[in-house]
Amino acid sequence: MPPPTDPPDLPDDELGHLPGDLPGHLPGLVADEAAVQVEAAESELRRLGLEEIRVRHHGDLARLEAPHHDLASVAAEPLRGEVLRAVRSAGFRSVAVDLEAVPDPREV
């Protein structure tokens, strides 16, 4: 059996957030549950005004990918506590911030 392949490189608006947000080895129902968790976390982050942060699903861990201009604010109080509550409310136990900033679409 060949190893899972990376999903196609398509923009989020074409496939939702599934391709980049979920590991390629998740079977059907588990992937659906993970997708619901990711969407719930991202929805809560958008409510906080964090429109460009993406949540990546790693089991109980949510890895946040943010543009450079959001990295410092998500790690500093008071927003840090709000981010933790928002992501944990989606069912994640742990939250990590990826320090390699994603490209800011306004600067590409």
Predicted local confidence at residue 107, as pLDDT = 64
CB atoms within 10 A of CB 62: 28
Residues of the chain with pLDDT below 50 are: 1-20, 22
Neighbours of 66 (CB within 10 A): 23
How many CA atoms lie within 13 Å of 103's alpha carbon, on the beta-carbon side? 4
What domain range is 44 assigned to? 25-97
What residues pair up with 102 in beta bridges, in sequence order? 67
Rounded to whole angstroms, the Cα distance separating 35 from 28 reads: 11
pLDDT at position 11 is 43
pLDDT 10s digits, 75-99: 999 999 999 999 999 999 999 999 9
Residue 81 domain-assigned? yes
Q: How many structural domains is the chain composed of?
A: 1
CATH classification at residue 51: 3.30.70
